[in-house]
Amino acid sequence: MSRWSGASCLPSAGRILCGGRVPFSTGRGRLLHSTISTVPAAIWLVRARRMRVTSCWIWNSTFSRRRWICGALGRRSAGALSPTRQSSAVGDSTSRTSDLETMARAAEERAAVARGFDEQAHLTGLVASGRALQRAGRLDEALERIRYVWDEAERRALPRLTLDAGYWLGALLLQRGRLAEAEAIVAETLELAARVGDEARGRHLIERVASEVEFHRADWRAGVERLLAYARGASEHGRIELHQLAALWLALVGGQELAQAGCPRCAMELRLVAADALARVGRPVDAAQSLEEWERLQVHPRPRELLTSRRVRALLSERDGPRLLESALHEAEELDFALDALWTRIDLGTACAETDRTRAKQILTVAAETASAIGARTEQQVAEKRLRALGVRTWRRGPGGELLTEREHAVARLIAVGASNPEIAQELFLSRKTVERHVSNLLKKVGVRNRAELAARVAELEVEGVPR
């Protein structure tokens, strides 16, 4: 043991242990016996607090060698070498730390340790690393990492890992405003979950992200209903979080319902969400109180949480609202939080309406066009609704630039009240084939996929030339 007692032996010990990766990864475990004389190197590294580096190597060695090492180290140190405990230790330390960059580095270290020994553990570590990068606001790096795991997990036929990667990849794409990509990833992940089940370790079921896709991409009402349906099967704390999210969605589109958190701990954690929702439904005093409680309790907020708090503070400001919202908009764009930037732009246009209607129209027009470009149907509807309140007509043409005919207006109104094709034919004295043709033309011109989406669009938007 004397030859392993100096600090200069650390590189040598590291090289010896790394050399064991080749026989281990190729399944030739017997070749590891040839390094039995180097076991003190592992012990030295453990005592040098390099336990994460050695745990995989030791615990995948022979039983006799493991017993020899454990005897030399003592029960306390040997127990700490368990890969399970090592993973738990890394997870505990990263969850306790307030430094988001440290969290990311710790997760990356965990992934690096497993590489070459256990590829599934390596990919799992990369997922944790991607999540840490997301919390730190480094979205491009997080997206690249999670997408790599998604591709590798699919290639290696690792369904559980594919589900995890699909969940976080979908969430990241939504955050970046890449809604069509998110919808495709979530659809594929839902299909996989239906075949193999979704254990959802450390996250919600994929249904949670699917609800958000539906909220942004299709009918927002269906998205809220889907989220609440999922919440009914969630845990107590999960239900509180999901109900708060549904409340925020309703507040964003102009609803007045708010979820009430019954758990004090969860209520504190969700104060920021509550403040955002309360500020939008005419309860500024409650919103300010909720925001102050969050600021007092949240010592190390994440970049997106800071952005949300500044936007809420701007919504509550009677004098400096537009200026503060404009600052929050620039911050959201710099951080590349596309959907947050879109909602902040809508808020800015609304705030400007009282003092500068021309500027408000310009801002809301940009918001509506941006929403249309990324496929954010709900945000587009909200922006256009506020434009109409300023006297701007918003549904003059479909995506192809074609005006709707008077007959198509009439068919659209009847579809909006739930009439079937035979009922429309009877009401308008048309043949069923003619009605089918009108419905097909409407879907193309309005840019929707089915009658339900068309009905939702008619209910939200003013059809040119048709009194309401």
Domain ranges of the chain: 2-81, 96-217, 406-460
pLDDT of 424 higher than 80: yes
The pLDDT value recorded for residue 361 is: 92
What sign does the CA torsion over 27, 31, 36, 40 have? negative
Flag the least confident range among 24-28, 158-162, 200-204.
Answer: 24-28
The pLDDT value recorded for residue 99 is: 66
Fold adopted by 406-460: Arc Repressor Mutant, subunit A (1.10.10)
More confident residue, 203 or 345: 345
Position 219 confidence tier, pLDDT thresholds 50, 70, 90: confident
The pLDDT value recorded for residue 262 is: 43
Q: Residue 189: which residues within 8 A CB-CB, separation 6 or more? A: 162, 163, 166, 167, 170, 206, 209
More confident residue, 32 or 429: 429
Share above pLDDT 90 across residues of the chain, in percent, rounded to a whole number: 26
- Half-sphere exposure of residue 246, counting CA atoms within 13 Å on the CB side? 25
**Average pLDDT for the chain:** 75
Cβ count within 10 A of residue 37 = 8
Which range is most confident: 83-87, 92-96, 101-105? 101-105
pLDDT of 94 higher than 50: no
Helix (H, G, I), strand (E, B) or coil at 397: strand
Fold adopted by 96-217: 1.25.40
| 87, 100 contact by CB (below 8 A) | no
- CA 259 – CA 125 distance, rounded (Å): 35
Which range is most confident: 18-32, 104-118, 305-319? 305-319
Share above pLDDT 70 across residues of the chain, in percent, rounded to a whole number: 68
pLDDT of 330 higher than 90: yes
- CA 360 – CA 353 distance, rounded (Å): 5
The pLDDT value recorded for residue 440 is: 84
Please indicate whether the domains covering 96-217 and 406-460 agree at the CATH topology level: no
Which range is most confident: 261-270, 278-287, 348-357? 348-357
pLDDT of 352 higher than 60: yes
Position 359 confidence tier, pLDDT thresholds 50, 70, 90: very high
The pLDDT value recorded for residue 200 is: 77
Flag the least confident range among 159-168, 179-188, 401-410.
Answer: 401-410
The pLDDT value recorded for residue 137 is: 83
What letter would DSSP give residue 281?
T
pTM: 0.61
Q: DSSP alpha helices (H): ranges in 253-356?
A: 264-269, 271-280, 284-297, 303-316, 321-335, 338-352
pLDDT of 36 higher than 90: no
Which range is most confident: 186-195, 261-270, 391-400? 186-195
Beta bridge pairs of residue 403: 397
More confident residue, 67 or 359: 359
The pLDDT value recorded for residue 459 is: 62
More confident residue, 373 or 267: 373
- CA 43 – CA 55 distance, rounded (Å): 11
Position 106 confidence tier, pLDDT thresholds 50, 70, 90: confident
Q: Residue 285: which residues within 8 A CB-CB, separation 6 or more? A: none
pLDDT of 148 higher than 60: yes
More confident residue, 135 or 364: 364
The pLDDT value recorded for residue 81 is: 43
The pLDDT value recorded for residue 461 is: 52
Helix (H, G, I), strand (E, B) or coil at 403: strand
